[in-house]
Chain A
């Protein structure tokens, strides 16, 4: 990131630059990275995105209050009100397996006893619980997968770019091979293979998403590091006799990864989408696990009467769309900020 310094005798400008207040955050991140952070709260679209994400964070944090788990050991299991296959409408009375009534319930809904706020799906799974606890599932899977993929991608990309030559060639050919299959197909296959081995849970799908998710990051980071590697301060670090690993981890990576980190954190939306798609297809978690894709999958057996049972699609569908949209709105704004052609225009 080149620093533009005023040339010639330009006292006024120099003074202005010197007088400009630089906050602690800006000093810590550096001017370019700070600009990226600012981008999060600049346009109406990015603010809307931030608010959407905040909204879901609150729901996820407040899940035990919004929907007190019936079996506290397994909060992610959607409680069932009996076993009948016919879905029941919004506001139907909750007879079996009733959860505790939280303090806000009477004031907000005006009911004395629990009803199915969003109706029930086939097998009397309560949709409200599926949506609320599904938010937690979304953040949990999204965060774990994104953090792991980024770490893996940065590591492989950095090693590949820094050492170059044969190491680079082998690693990048592995990436080529893994990229042959489209990501959803690849994830589906690996999850199907892993499920019998480690059992039905969120794990097989998360592992598969990680296994095929780091490829893109490795490529991007590799490119970034190839350019950072040639900087003078890297040469300086080498001249004073630093070890390879120290140069890589202390000097190169911190200067190359920030844009990738930001974009990656916004990939949570995509990860959650893939995860929901796979559980919609019946891969990964058990039936009845609180996950939006899982709840949506209940609609598949009632396609002919979907106009009666619209609520099976509507609530988890809206949650999923808004969640992903929050991350996409932010990502869109940030891509503009990060685009080098846009630099200096914002």
Chain B
């Protein structure tokens, strides 16, 4: 186990290095004038850019540039560090009119909030559907689940999202897009509302504002439904095939032969063993939710990091997009590490291979 974890940990610096190189190469597509935006705040004036190019060595040899880009430079007069993505300076966001890092800090809690509420329905319902389909193999539930899984994987997120908005917002007016209703936005941005966790739903509860909590959930309902719907198809398929295979194992026959009730056979003997591939999928789908909510957030106008990244790239604000990419890369490297190690705990075959 320990050797597996160590081997896996050794991969992390390599991946980090690789991802920074990747992003660095991408930003090399920009000319030096645009890259100066990493260091110049706000709308730069012409001479400021020239100064930044010479000061930060934006036309130096590439290894020097990479180093500068990573750790930045300490100003000799003021002693302040300028630039340097390792220190969280991702540059100035034109579309957000603020440093990219603070834009991420403001947007990320919203995405995290959405992810936390979406995980339950996404994973549990998907697994339940898959188990039911396998238990009633070739029965009505199985056929229905099969049709659903094919329709589900063919239905693009944004088409589904737009349809949901058409029915539940434009037609019925139940679930509006956005983050909060206007009247609550004022409350939330006022001083009386303490941001304990920065996660809106939890803050609302901690402040004792049930109405704000419910309003936030109302705005998150359609995004959660969209995210779940897309994942259900995948979970269903994986759980179903894994469960079908497990039900064919000899120990299941043994359990049946010794007279256990069918319920125990399925839920106590078969299901736990069928969950192995599902566990990996669940891990990756949580990670995927964190990073891949670009379209869902955009459709529902939800102010998370996904919609910010989409907006920035639609307006060709490359510095901001690359900042988001770096942040996402870091999150994913750590999250994948956690998933892999957890998986090794669950399945001894992984750590022994």
Q: Is B162 an interface residue (CB 8 A)?
A: yes
Interface residues of B in 173-189 (CB under 8 A from A): 177
| B322 CB–A CB distance under 8 Å | yes
Q: A196 contacts which of B166, B170, B171, B316 (Cβ < 8 Å)?
A: B316
Tell me if A273 counts as interface (CB < 8 A to partner B). Answer: yes
Q: Which of B44-52, B150-158, B254-262 contacts A (4 or more CB under 8 A)?
A: B150-158
A174 touches B18 (CB 8 A): yes
Q: B135 at the A/B interface (Cβ < 8 Å)?
A: no
Give chain A residues whose Cβ lies under 8 Å from the Cβ of B21: 177
Which of these, B169, B298, B318, B329, contacts A193 with CB under 8 Å?
Answer: B318
Range of interface residues on B (Cβ < 8 Å): 35 or more
Q: Is the interface of B mostly helix, strand, loop or mixed?
A: helix
Which B-chain residue is minimally distant from A312 (CB atoms)?
B162
User: A304 at interface (Cβ–Cβ under 8 A)?
Assistant: yes
Is B298 in contact with A281, judged by CB distance below 8 angstroms?
yes
Interface: B309 (CB within 8 A): yes
Q: Using Cβ atoms and an 8 Å threshold, which residues of chain B touch A306?
A: 162, 165-166, 169-171
The verdict on B295 contacting chain A, using a C-beta distance below 8 Å, is: yes
Interface hit among B269-277, B286-294, B339-347: B286-294
Stretch at the interface among B22-30, B56-64, B76-84, B115-123: B22-30
Of the 9-residue stretches A151-159, A182-190, A242-250, which lies at the interface with chain B? A182-190
Counting CB contacts under 8 A, is A192 at the interface? Answer: yes
Q: Are B22 and A178 in contact (CB under 8 A)?
A: yes
Q: Choose from A188, A273, A303, A329 the contact partner of B321 (Cβ within 8 Å).
A: A188
Given the known interface contacts A178-B22, A188-B321, A325-B150, the answer about A281 and B159 at a Cβ–Cβ threshold of 8 Å is no
Across the interface, which residues of B come within 8 angstroms of A56, CB to CB?
none
Interface-located stretch among A12-20, A65-73, A120-128, A316-324? A316-324
Do A328 and B154 contact each other (CB < 8 Å), given the known contacts A178-B22, A307-B171? yes
A-side contacts of B163, CB under 8 Å: 313, 317
Interface core residue of B313, B314, B324, B333 (most chain A CB under 10 Å) = B313
Contacts of A324 in B (CB 8 A): 153-154, 156
- Using a CB-CB cutoff of 8 Å, which residues 134-193 of chain A contact chain B? 173-174, 176-178, 180-182, 184-186, 188-193
Return chain A residues, CB-CB under 8 Å to B156. Answer: 273, 276-277, 320-321, 324
Against B, the Cβ 8 Å flags (1 = close, 0 = not) of A313-341 are 10001001110110011001000000000
Chain A minimum-CB-distance residue to B152? A328
- The answer to whether A189 touches B154 (Cβ under 8 A) is no
Q: Which residues of A contact B151 (CB under 8 A)?
A: 325
Given known A184-B294, A277-B156, A303-B169, contact A192–B316 (CB-CB < 8 A)? yes
Contact with A along B3-25 (1 / 0, CB 8 A): 00000000100110011011000
Interface centre among B154, B155, B170, B171 (most CB of A within 10 A): B154
A283–B158 Cα gap in the complex (Å)?
15
With beta carbons under 8 angstroms apart, the residue of A177, A181, A325 that contacts B325 is: A181
Asked if A296 is at the interface of the complex by the 8 Å CB criterion, the answer is: yes
Judged by a CB distance under 8 angstroms, whether B252 is at the interface is no
**Contact status B309-A185, CB under 8 Å:** yes
A332 close to B150 (CB less than 8 A): yes
- Is the Cβ of A193 less than 8 Å from the Cβ of B27? yes
B296 to chain A minimum Cβ distance, whole angstroms, is 11
9 shortest interchain CB distances as A-B pairs: A177-B18, A192-B313, A282-B314, A325-B154, A306-B170, A306-B166, A317-B159, A324-B154, A307-B171
B-contacting residues of A (Cβ < 8 Å)?
A: 45, 173-174, 176-178, 180-182, 184-186, 188-197, 269, 273, 276-277, 280-283, 293, 296, 299-300, 303-307, 310, 313, 317, 320-322, 324-325, 328-329, 332
Question: Given A181-B328, A303-B170, list of 15 further CB < 8 A pairs?
Answer: A177-B14, A182-B288, A182-B328, A193-B26, A269-B154, A276-B158, A281-B313, A293-B158, A296-B162, A303-B177, A304-B169, A305-B170, A317-B163, A321-B155, A328-B153
16 contacts between A and B (CB under 8 A): A176-B18, A177-B14, A180-B332, A184-B295, A185-B291, A192-B313, A192-B316, A192-B318, A196-B29, A197-B29, A277-B295, A280-B295, A296-B159, A303-B169, A321-B155, A328-B153
